[in-house]
Amino acid sequence: MPNQLVIQVLLVAIFLLFAIVVIAPGKGARRLAIRRIALFLALLAGIFAVIFPDVVNDFANILGVGRGTDLILYALVVVFLGNSLATAAQNRQLHREITQVARHIALREAKDTAEPGPVSPENRQ
């Protein structure tokens, strides 16, 4: 069981990193670039795993995971959770921006209707 300690520490560290990234403020373009690079690296890792499954199995054994397929499953869970957290953060930001725009429009429309304008002959009673 001591071999499992390596993968456990690695997975916990990755999840803590995700938590920091989600909590910490960041620029949109920077985060998008990081996500694209991570996606590209995941794509390369997937191609590597298909071409060299024995290497993935050996790497899984080094990390304390029984099989390469289990390691790939762990990696997919990490990628899924990371993507879910990033999407949730992006949704929160979009909701904030939509709220600001809606407030701005509502205030402008309220200001426009509050100002008395010239009375047209159709509006006189």
| DSSP conformation letters of 82-105 | HHHHHHHHHHHHHHHHHHHHHHHH
* Whole-number Cα distances in Å, 104 to 96, 98, 112, 113: 12, 10, 12, 14
The reported pLDDT for the residue numbered 79 is 81
In a domain, 50, yes or no: yes
Asked if residue 105 belongs to a domain, the reply is: no
Averaged confidence pLDDT in the chain: 81
* In-domain check, residue 100: no
pLDDT at 103: 94
Model confidence at 117, in pLDDT bands (50, 70, 90)? Answer: low
Does a structural domain hold residue 89? Answer: no
Alpha carbon distance 7, 116 (integer Å): 70
Rounded CA gap, 78 and 72, in Å?
10
The number of folded domains in the chain is: 1
DSSP, collapsed to helix, strand or coil, labels residue 41 as: helix
Contact of 41 with 49, CB cutoff 8 Å? no
60 Cβ contact partners less than 8 Å away, ≥ 6 residues apart = 66, 67, 68, 70, 71
pLDDT digits (tens, 9 = 90+) for 42-61: 888 888 888 888 999 999 98
Quick one: pLDDT at residue 38?
78
The residue to which tokens 């499992």 are assigned: 4
Q: In this structure, is residue 107 part of a structural domain?
A: no
Query: How does pLDDT run across 8-53, given as a tens digit for each residue?
Result: 888 788 877 877 766 666 667 877 787 788 778 888 888 888 888 8
pTM of the model: 0.64
